[in-house]
Chain A
Amino acid sequence: MAERLPAMRRIANPSTRPGMVVLFVVMALGALAMLFPFIWTVVTSITPGAGLSFAPSLIVEDPSLEAYRTLFTERPFARIIGNSLLLATITTAIQLFTSATAAYAFSRLAFRGRTVVFAVYLSTMMIPLQVLIVPLFAQLKAFGLVNTYLGALLPTFASAFGIFLLREAVNQVPRELDEAATLDGAGHLRIFWTVILPNIRPALATLTVFAFMGSWNSFLWPLVVLRAPEMQTLPVALAGLQGQYTTAWDVVMAGSVVSILPMLAIYLFAQRYIVQGVASSGIK
């Protein structure tokens, strides 16, 4: 972040002004192209009878919220939103806990085999979830956890990415703070709670966004484990809508809008933590 100011001065050279105007126009047009699918989603969702016979138009002559009513009356969408919220909230809370405790151990505690354990943790990032789908499904089926929230949640409890992110953050907390606390008679638990956690808040915020986003948008595992319609999460229900309302695109797009809005709200709230979080993770 500190490098930003000189970088700005460097490039805001008056001689390149016309170039900057052109660049701005190009980037703004690009941004419009990025936004267009979202605009299109919203427009389609309020166009009654949008479907195969519907000629694409950005101007809706007779806008209606009928598609949204269909979602909540003909389909259990209120329950489905609740499912997604519940799973994402629990996953996020637990990942914060498991990642922060592991990060503390890897950063602050000397123990034999630390490098090996950390390497094993990191290598789990490389294992495709799909490799695990069959045995996981069998495992949870044996426990009677298919079609339960717990079954959907269990495999999401630890995140190699989260542990990596928080370990980098804990590494950046000055060790003098720990030592001062130790002199005051604090044990590891108290150092973790009163010294480390308050000092890694930005990283915790970044992980909150990524964990929530990961759960909110995850598709394959919920698709496999939550088979009953009333247990489904938003992405799975959305994929199902497309099959059910093949020609009613307004309903399908209304479902998309409903699935995007909560994530959008969280994103706007936490936007500044994302670049900062990536920058502080040591990925440079």
Chain B
Amino acid sequence: MSGIAVGGRPTRIRSTAAAPRPAARRRARRDAIAAALFLLPSALPIVMFVLVPMLSAAWISLTSWNLISPATFVGFENYATLLTDPRTGEVFLHTLAYIVGYLPLVYVGGLAIALALNSALAGRTLLRGIYFLPVVTSWIAVALVWRWLLNPSNGVVNAALAAVGIAGPGWWTDPAWAMPSVIIASVWKDLGFVMVILLAGLQAIPSDLYDAARVDGAGWWQRLRHVTMPMLSPSTFFVVVISLINGFQVFDQVYAMTGGGPNGASTVVVQQIYDLTFRYGAAGEASALSWMLFIVILAVTVIQIRGQRRWVNYG
């Protein structure tokens, strides 16, 4: 995927470095001025509302601040507090549990749907639309109906389970089942997104590769393993990178489905950042945790980009 590899087609640079003719130099200068003007509308918000806050978060993380009274400089105390607080490990573990439960399910499910809907199935346009529908719905609306479906006392899911003689679990009211509840709803919501990315990838695979594989006597499973999966690896890579970036930042569904409960059993990193800031007035600690999260995400993403050469096929 050229997006992460920062590539793309280079612009032809018309002036020759050896002997810049005045006209070419004039054009280069005019291009630079135009570039500045064309970049200004996007650069202003990116600098003011991303890069500057990013740096001030680094500063705030070195202070003790409750958002109201003036901040006092405390050095790396917030980081030390976080690193020794068992709660920090817990919230990272909960986030990891979410990712480990969510990613394989959403990828395999999305792949199966994409494969099925890439074939000449009747009504596949309508089916694609239906599978994509949850993606356009707000997390809050989705979380509300899933809370209702997974209601332990009279939710539809437990009623259905009871009908076949299974006593349903307490879902989001049970510390052991709170995270699985969030994962189920998240997979349901994101299947359509993964499907669309993989469909775009599947449609770009040249059909003569399948013909060649068939001539060689490859069956369905062998074609999937030796043609589809390698050819699809750039899309898979994109799905994994995006899912991990988003997975570490999981918040909306947790906030709306469990509020991080019961008893903190499903509190993820971002829920903790939110609580530290707006419930406990510990903005310094929250900023330190934010930076820790950013560094984790950055490290995971860089590792993936480095490692992609081993399995991603850009043919």
Contact = CB atoms under 8 A, between A and B. Distances in A.
Interface of A: 1, 3-4, 6-12, 20, 23-24, 26-28, 30-31, 34-35, 37-38, 40-41, 44, 52-56, 97-99, 101-102, 104-112, 114-115, 117-122, 124-139, 154-155, 157-158, 160, 163-164, 167-168, 171, 175, 188, 192, 213, 216-217, 219-220, 224, 234-236, 238-239, 242, 249, 252-253, 255-256, 259-260, 263-264, 266-268, 271, 274-275, 278-279, 281-284
A200 B156 CA distance: 46
Interface of B: 1-4, 6, 8-9, 11-14, 28, 31-32, 34-36, 38-46, 48-54, 56-57, 60, 67, 113, 116-123, 127-134, 136-142, 144-149, 153-156, 159, 188, 191-192, 196-197, 199-207, 210-211, 234-235, 238, 245, 248-249, 251-252, 255-256, 270, 273-274, 277-278, 283, 286-287, 290-291, 293-294, 297-298, 301
B3 A282 contact: yes
A263 B136 contact: yes
B13 A259 contact: no
A16 to B, nearest CB: 9
Nearest to A263: B136
A44 B46 CA distance: 43
B145 A111 contact: no
B11 A110 contact: yes
A121 B46 contact: yes
B301 A126 contact: yes
A139 B191 CA distance: 37
A136 B141 contact: no
Contacts of A167: 8
A282 B196 contact: no
19 contacts: A9-B120, A23-B119, A26-B116, A28-B123, A28-B127, A98-B45, A101-B40, A101-B41, A105-B38, A126-B301, A130-B290, A132-B50, A157-B44, A256-B144, A275-B200, A279-B200, A282-B2, A283-B3, A284-B235
B293 to A, nearest CB: 6
Contacts of A111: 31-32, 35-36
A274 B57 contact: no
A124 B47 CA distance: 10
B131 to A, nearest CB: 6
A128 B270 CA distance: 9
Given A112-B32, A158-B45, A284-B234, 7 more contacts: A7-B207, A24-B121, A44-B148, A109-B34, A136-B53, A235-B140, A264-B136
The SS class assigned to the A binding surface is: helix
Contacts of A216: 138
Contact of B41 (A102, A217, A279, A282): A102
Nearest to B109: A30
Contact of A224 (B145, B278, B294): B278
B56 A130 contact: no
Nearest to A164: B3
B184 to A, nearest CB: 11
Nearest to B239: A283
Given A110-B13, A275-B199, A279-B204, A158 B137 contact: no
Nearest to A84: B138
A189 B10 CA distance: 21
Which 5 pairs from chain A and chain B are nearest by CB?
A: A217-B138, A157-B45, A105-B38, A135-B53, A135-B56
A44 B151 CA distance: 14
B312 to A, nearest CB: 12
Nearest to A264: B136
Residue among B39, B138, B148, B203 with the most chain A CB within 10 A? B138
B245 A126 contact: yes
Given A30-B113, A40-B145, A132-B54, A3 B206 contact: yes
Contact of A253 (B13, B45, B127, B144): B144
B120 to A, nearest CB: 4
Given A132-B57, A133-B277, A138-B67, A109 B154 contact: no
B291 A131 contact: yes
Given A34-B134, A121-B42, A175-B12, A131 B154 contact: no
Given A101-B39, A101-B42, A158-B46, A7 B203 contact: yes
Contacts of A99: 42
